[in-house]
Amino acid sequence: MQKIAIPVLDHKLSPHFTTSPLFKIYLVEDETIVKESLMHLPSHLSESLPVWLAKNGVTDIITRQIGQRDINVFNQHKINVFVGVEPEDPNDLVQEYINGTLETHDDLIVH
C-alpha cells in the first residue's frame, strides 16, 4: 500500500511544495487508487512537514520544485520524493505514477 501526497493549488499541482497549505492524498493498493482525500496543513504546525506527513502515513510525494535539503529530510522519514513534475491535474499525475510513466526532472531541485 502506498499513500501519495501532492501539494495542490487551484486544482493542480502547486508550483512550490513548501507554500502549499493543501495536499491531495491518494491511497493506492495493487496499482489502483482506492481512496482520495484532502489534507489541510495545520496553521501552526508544531513539527516539521516531513514528520507530519510521515505520521499521516505518506510514503511518496509528487512535486514540482523542492530543495535538496528537504528531499534529504523526507528520505530520512522513508518518504520518496518525485521532483520536476509538470503542474497537471493530480489525478492524472497519480495515474502516470502507477503506470510508471510519470516524468520527473531533477533540474528543478533547488540547491
What pTM was computed for the model? 0.90
Our CA angle for 44, 45, 46, nearest 5°, is: 105
Q: What is the CATH number of the domain that holds 73?
A: 3.30.420.130
Domain ranges, residue 89: 2-110
User: Could you tell me the three cell numbers for 10?
Assistant: 487551484
pLDDT value at residue 51:
85
Strand partners, 33: 28
Q: Which helix (H) or strand (E) holds 29?
A: strand 22-29
Displacement of CA 57 from its chain's centroid (Å): 12
Query: Residue 108 — very low, low, confident or very high, per pLDDT cuts 50/70/90?
Result: low
- pLDDT tens-place string over residues 31-69: 999 999 999 887 776 667 888 889 999 999 999 888 888
Residue matched to cell numbers 493506492: 28
- Indicate the average pLDDT of the chain: 88
- Three-class secondary structure of residue 81 per DSSP: strand
- pLDDT tens-place string over residues 76-88: 999 999 998 988 8
The count of structural domains within the chain is 1
